[in-house]
Amino acid sequence: MFNKRVKIKELLATEPTGQEVTVMGWVRTFRNNQFIALNDGSTNNNLQIVVELGMLDEATLKRITTSASLKVTGECIPSLGKGQKMEIKAKSIEILGDSDPEQYPIQPKKHSLEFLREKAHLRFRTNTFAAVFRIRHTLAFAIHKFFHEKGFVYMHTPVITASDAEGAGEMFRVTTLPMDNPPRNEDGTIDFKEDFFGRSTNLTVSGQLEGELAATAFSEIYTFGPTFRAENSNTARHLAEFWMIEPEMAFCDIEDNMNLAEEFIRYVIKYALEHNREDIEFLAQRLAEEEKSLPQDKRSELGLLEKLDFVVNNNFERITYTEAIDILLQSPAYKKKKFQYEVKWGIDMQSEHERYLVEKHFKKPVIVTNYPKDIKSFYMRLNEDGKTVAAMDILAPGIGEIVGGSQREERYDVLVEKMNAMGIPTEELWWYLDTRRFGTVPHAGFGLGFERLVLFVTGMTNIRDVIAFPRTPKSAEF
Ligand code: ATP
Ligand code: MN
DSSP notation for 297-345? GGS-SS-HHHHHHHHHHSPPEEEEHHHHHHHHHHSHHHHTT--SS---T
> 53: which strand partners?
none
Of all helices (H) and strands (E), which one includes residue 211?
A: helix 208-218
Nearest to 392 by CA among 259, 236, 233: 259
Q: Does 239 contact ligand 1 (Cβ within 6 A)?
A: yes
Separation of 289 CA from ligand 1 center, angstroms? 30
Alpha helices by DSSP H, listed for 63-123, are 113-118
Q: Does 380 contact ligand 1 (Cβ within 6 A)?
A: no
Ligand nearest to the CA of 466: 1
What are the phi and psi torsion angles at 348 (to 5°)?
A: -90, 110
Query: Is residue 449 a contact partner of residue 231, using CB atoms and an 8 Å limit?
Result: no
Distance CA 2, CA 378 (A): 56
Separation of 369 CA from ligand 1 center, angstroms? 16
Domain ranges in the chain with CATH number 2.40.50.140: 8-104
Q: Does 229 contact ligand 1 (Cβ within 6 A)?
A: yes
Ligand nearest to the CA of 242: 1
| Ligand 1 atom nearest to 393, measured from its CA | 18
| pLDDT value at residue 82 | 80
- In the chain (478 residues long), the average pLDDT of successive 10-residue segments reads 87 96 97 97 97 95 97 96 90 97 90 95 96 98 98 98 74 95 96 96 95 98 97 91 98 98 98 98 96 86 94 97 98 95 97 94 97 96 98 96 97 97 93 97 98 98 98 95
User: Which architecture does CATH list for 125-170+205-465?
Assistant: 2-Layer Sandwich (3.30)
Query: Is residue 415 a contact partner of residue 387, using CB atoms and an 8 Å limit?
Result: no
Nearest CA to ligand 1 atom 12: 404
Could you tell which of 206, 231, 233, 242 is best to mutate to test the pocket of ligand 1, judged by most ligand atoms within 8 Å of the CB? 242
Q: Does 445 contact ligand 1 (Cβ within 6 A)?
A: no
Separation of 230 CA from ligand 2 center, angstroms? 10
Return the amino acid letter for 426: T
> Under 8 Å CB-to-CB from 434, ≥6 apart: which residues?
none
Nearest CA to ligand 1 atom 19: 449
Separation of 144 CA from ligand 2 center, angstroms? 25
| pLDDT value at residue 80 | 86
Nearest to 287 by CA among 266, 313, 308, 310: 308
Q: Does 452 contact ligand 1 (Cβ within 6 A)?
A: yes
Q: Does 404 contact ligand 1 (Cβ within 6 A)?
A: yes
Distance CA 441, CA 256 (A): 14
Query: Is residue 40 a contact partner of residue 46, using CB atoms and an 8 Å limit?
Result: no
Q: What is the DSSP string of 439-454?
A: S---EEEEEEEHHHHH
Distance CA 76, CA 245 (A): 44
Nearest CA to ligand 1 atom 16: 449
Could you tell which of 228, 231, 239, 244 is best to mutate to test the pocket of ligand 1, judged by most ligand atoms within 8 Å of the CB? 244
Domain ranges in the chain with CATH number 3.30.930.10: 125-170+205-465
| pLDDT value at residue 167 | 61
Separation of 206 CA from ligand 1 center, angstroms? 10
Distance CA 451, CA 467 (A): 7
Separation of 301 CA from ligand 1 center, angstroms? 26
Helix (H, G, I), strand (E, B) or coil at 194: helix
| Ligand 1 atom nearest to 403, measured from its CA | 18
| pLDDT value at residue 1 | 65
Distances (CA, A) of 428 to 16, 199, 379, 414, 434: 67, 12, 15, 18, 12
Q: Does 442 contact ligand 1 (Cβ within 6 A)?
A: no
Nearest CA to ligand 1 atom 3: 401
Distance CA 170, CA 429 (A): 19
Of all helices (H) and strands (E), which one includes residue 289?
A: helix 277-292
Nearest to 258 by CA among 349, 319, 326, 325: 319
DSSP designation for 105: -
Domain 8-104 matching CATH 2.40.50.140: the answer reads yes
| pLDDT value at residue 297 | 80
